[in-house]
Structure 1
Amino acid sequence: MRVIGYLRVSTITQEHGLDAQRASITAEAKRRGWQVEWIEDAGKSGKDIDRPGITAALAMLKAREADALVVAKLDRLSRSLADFARLLESAAKQGWSVVALDLGIDTTTPTGKLVANVMAAVAQWERETIGLRTKEALAAAKAKGVHVGRPQGQDPAVVRRIRRWRKAGMTYRTIADRLNADAVVLPGGGAKWHPNSVRTICARMARI
């Protein structure tokens, strides 16, 4: 099986951390007969997945140039449960697997899939809770007479994020969930992003 061994450290002075991660993945690859292609993000935070290395890895997986994404520790991939759940969703739809050695997450096995599904369910609960809080906050603001504006166009930075995520293989729903989690305001001032909202912006980008 062809796998991407993904490595990450938060600062470039933590090179020993890359070596330790590489050693863990190498040992597992030898045991299971994997062919590993290495991708790393040195000096990159794990607060989100907007990183050059992981973006390249996701593009390779979408193109079926590899069969699985492997990390020594889950927090090397992402510290956000919501982001991890979105990666699992992309993996399921595109036909590749995710392996996090430290937590026994391995979607090539029934037990590993169970662990991943539990984490995805928790992330879904988290997203729904955030959505409810957002609606309540908007309602409270309106009750106090605060005007909730309706911007005429979307922030260019948000458009760039959407374009980058689509190129990485994220679905419209996954992008919408992420924008909601980040409390990004809709162009029309709505309370929540939906897949069709993202699709509309992508259609506009295609016409530019």
Structure 2
Amino acid sequence: MKEVRRGEPSLCLLLLAWGLALQTTWWLEWRFHAGSADDGGGYTVEVSINDYLDIYCPHYGAPLPPAERMEHYVLYMVNGEGHASCDHRQRGFKRWECNRPAAPGGPLKFSEKFQLFTPFSLGFEFRPGHEYYYISATPPNAVDRPCLRLKVYVRPTSKCWGGHVGSRPSPLVSLTHRTHSVVCRVRRWSQPSQGSQLQQWLGLAPPEPLFSPLQMGTF
């Protein structure tokens, strides 16, 4: 059964952050959705070339819960069949492992860059107009957890070249309200506005807050 609640405030918050090299970053946050294998479940997001997908693993602070209650996941990139069946044996590649839920420095974070080319032999290359799939699996000797699924669609638009995104991303909502889960963010790069931001970086204008909330969604 899907863990979906309607009519409650969403955990999704669209944020505007400052970036480096006179660029700004659009942050979009959502959670992997624990959908059943026969309902076409999971969650779909759209990205552009040069966007980043940031993965935040479940994390627990003091007082720590019992070890069997802490969530552990292995995250795989799979094909369409593997996503539909939640089976990483369908041409699955292990991408990350969430195995330190009580790490003292905070949650483990992994990043996927949607780039056309990679200089690394084990890196992944992505193509506009294609879909890519991620699922979770429970590590051996751990308490079994629902399969978490995410579908990522790379936009077929010329505006994605060179790291430029021409429009703001639409806010997405959280489909699962678990206390701890795998959380993702997309970092979308756009050109800075003229004048005001440049003045701030040069010290000619007062700085704005690092993060400015733009919109909250409900589901």
What interval of TM-score do these two structures reach, taking the shorter chain for normalisation? Answer: under 0.3
The normalised TM-score by structure 2 is: 0.25
Higher strand proportion, which one? Answer: 2
Structure of higher RCO (CA pairs closer than 8 Å, 6+ residues apart): 2
After TM superposition, the score normalised by the length of structure 1 is 0.26
